[in-house]
Amino acid sequence: MENHLPFEKPIMELRNKIDELKSFTDEKDIDLSGEIEKLEQRLEQLEAEVYNNLKPWQRVQIARHPERPTTLDYIDSLFEQFIELHGDRLFGDDEAIVGGIAFFEGSPVTVIGHQRGRDTKENVRRNFGMPHPEGYRKALRLMKQAEKFNRPVICFVDTKGAYPGKAAEERGQSEAIARNLMEMAGLKVPVISVVIGEGGSGGGLALGVANHVHMFENSWYSTISPEGASSILWKDASYAREAAEAMRITAGDLKEFGVIDEIVKEPRGGAHHDPKEQMAILRKTLQQSLKDLLVLTPNELIESRYEKFKQMGTFEESDF
Amino acid sequence: MIKDLFSKRRKYASMPAEREQPKTMNEGVMTKCPKCKTIVYTKELMKHANVCMHCGHHMPMTPSERIDLILDTDSFRELNPHMVSADPLEFPEYKEKLEKDQKKTGHKEAVVTGEGTIGGTPVVLGVMDPAFRMGSMGSVVGEKITRAIERALDLHAPFILFSASGGARMQEGILSLMQMAKTSAALKKMDEAGLLFVSVMTHPTTGGVSASFASLGDYNFAEPEALIGFAGRRIIEQTIRQELPEDFQTAEFLLKHGQLDKVLHRQDMKNVLSAIVQMHT
């Protein structure tokens, strides 16, 4: 793994050392197998230590890893005959959100997700996965279409947030997000949302009013990004690590708050360490969700979605 | 089992609003308009609903001033006045800040909701208070607005909401964000029931509040010069690296860009709302 994260440095160093010894053995014909075995045990230990105790900020870094699978990667490997559909019919086509129709396990579904770029050039085109209003309006158009043709909607959430720009405001960023929240609440078909990377505030939630909301083990979902929270709390964006802890943004936290249904396991070290394995895990999650939801009537789907969000929040009531 | 899941749990505590509340934002005998700097008698200003008699600048109102301005005299009955935050993140200094704002404003949270009448017609009303934690939305604000909407559904009455908010409340983390979904989902029910929702955005209506219920009115109005937007001006300037026009994100700017039905002067507020309610009964 070339693109390792800062906290993975000790692991990488140890791994390099083992590789060195191995090539030394090959070249010089000296038996170092005892040494190598010891170091390999140590590596196993170290990996367990690091990856089984990931801190919130480390998870944020994994969520943002450039090699982490994106929406289109999941679409390519989990869905068949995907046909991408473009445009909001009002202004343009926002490539920060992709959507279309496909088969999942033989049944037609509508699939929509934030799409960040997999390299710099693509990131420019996709605005780093930060949508404008037309992205949300395209998403809503596709959801309404799914409702018309009675097929489930599957959403992948992966954005730092809705784009904070001049044009976005002029074209009604607020209204576009708000409209999605309201209309998603009323969809007569099953809606499943999976936070696969970053769940940046309202920009993420606009694809997140679902019957089932699942969240990858190393993703984050929050009212405000760790950097944003840091600037507000400490007037300085460089305390993102501390903010990531204080804001309780990990899958485990959200499960505790009753905001998500299931934590989607990731291969050790994150989805990018074994994308194939990750696809298999997600496939199972989606299969189960669809199985649970397809037995509900439209009215049950709407009512249970409503009750799900209605119970979110904590407060105290007294008589005085 | 499944029936239990969908059964409606409704707990309403209706109480007349008789608690001590500061009647006005303006404490002294004289008040200086922050826009034109003219000094006027506070009493005169209050007669003009806190609108500067010289330049027309709309100064903040307390929820009780707003309620007096909009509803028929003595018709207001508050809903859920005692709901308070449970501090889910155990956020440093949050409880203290809440207590301070409770003392300052005389109410327990950043929104006051209740029932009343306009020209004799029953309505449900919500008024947010920018003086309480910048009107930010945490669990209590979201729950009170949702219950107000459910109340409107029960009564088959219109819902009118005056928003004023800096957005989702950071100190309650993800639960604040989810209030956007909760309130919007409740509005979908109103929509399906064919009931009227009028949103009046007052200064300022931004972030998660502008990106949820405040933008979802059958009619979206705003007070003159109110700041309304999704992202903060500073963030946008930093992101796009250019200066923004002076009127950016004002009510007038939104009107020009097709994002509002009307900019409504405070002196016309009651008449217009009253007419709209009449047209929908």
Q: Which residues of A touch B219 (CB under 8 A)?
A: none
Q: Closest partner residue to B83 among A175, A221, A317, by Cβ? A: A317
Query: Model pTM greater than 0.90?
Result: yes
Q: Closest partner residue to A205 among B181, B229, B231, by Cβ? A: B181
Main-chain dihedrals φ then ψ at residue A318, nearest 5 degrees? -125, 170
Per-window interface: B 137-156 vs A, CB < 8 A: 138-140, 142-143, 146
Q: What is the mean pLDDT for each group of 10 consecutive residues in chain B (281 residues)?
A: 48 45 64 94 94 96 96 97 95 95 96 97 98 97 98 98 97 97 98 98 98 98 98 90 93 97 97 97 87
In angstroms, the CA A162 to CA B239 distance is 12
Instruction: Determine whether the interchain pair A164/B236 forms a contact, defined as Cβ–Cβ distance below 8 Å.
Output: yes
Between vectors from CA B279 to CA B277 and to CA B281, what angle results, nearest 5°? Answer: 70
Residue B273's alpha-carbon distances to B69, B82, B220, B268, B270, in angstroms, are: 11, 28, 12, 9, 5
Q: Mean pLDDT throughout A246-265?
A: 97
Residue A111's alpha-carbon distances to A65, A155, A300, B202, in angstroms, are: 23, 6, 22, 38
Q: How many helices (H) and strands (E) does chain A have?
A: 14, 9
In angstroms, the CA A221 to CA A199 distance is 4
Task: Evaluate if residue A26 carries a pLDDT over 70.
Answer: yes
pLDDT at A29: 78
Residue B49's alpha-carbon distances to B25, B61, B181, in angstroms, are: 11, 8, 33
pLDDT at B274: 97
pLDDT at A25: 85
Instruction: Determine whether the interchain pair B230/A221 forms a contact, defined as Cβ–Cβ distance below 8 Å.
Output: no
Is B81 an 8 Å CB contact of chain A? Answer: no
Q: Mean pLDDT throughout A117-134?
A: 96
Instruction: Determine whether the interchain pair B174/A307 forms a contact, defined as Cβ–Cβ distance below 8 Å.
Output: no
In angstroms, the CA B179 to CA A315 distance is 12
Instruction: Determine whether the interchain pair B215/A175 forms a contact, defined as Cβ–Cβ distance below 8 Å.
Output: yes
In angstroms, the CA A270 to CA A251 distance is 13
Q: Lowest mean pLDDT: which of A73-87, A152-166, A205-219, B14-28?
A: B14-28
Q: Mean pLDDT throughout A128-151?
A: 98
Tens of pLDDT, residue by residue over A40-60, are 999 999 999 999 999 999 999
Q: Mean pLDDT throughout A295-299?
A: 98
Instruction: Determine whether the interchain pair B174/A248 forms a contact, defined as Cβ–Cβ distance below 8 Å.
Output: yes
**Which amino acid is located at B74 in the chain?**
D
A77 SS3 class = helix
Task: Output Rg (C-alpha) for chain B, integer angstroms.
Answer: 19
In angstroms, the CA B228 to CA A91 distance is 22
Tens of pLDDT, residue by residue over A194-207, are 999 999 999 999 99
In angstroms, the CA A208 to CA A213 distance is 7
Task: Evaluate if residue A79 carries a pLDDT over 50.
Answer: yes
More reliable by pLDDT, A3 or B164: B164
Mean pLDDT for all residues in chain A: 95
Instruction: Determine whether the interchain pair B11/A317 forms a contact, defined as Cβ–Cβ distance below 8 Å.
Output: yes
Q: Which residues of A touch B173 (CB under 8 A)?
A: 222-223, 247-249, 253, 257
Per-window interface: B 206-225 vs A, CB < 8 A: 207-208, 210-216
Task: Evaluate if residue A132 carries a pLDDT over 90.
Answer: yes
Task: Evaluate if residue A63 carries a pLDDT over 50.
Answer: yes
Residue B51 is given by DSSP the state B
Task: Evaluate if residue A5 carries a pLDDT over 50.
Answer: yes
Q: How far is A308 from chain B (nearest CA, A)?
A: 9
Residue from A130, A312, A319, A320 whose CB has the most chain B CBs within 10 Å, to mutate? A312
Contact at 8 Å (CB) between B131 and B104? yes
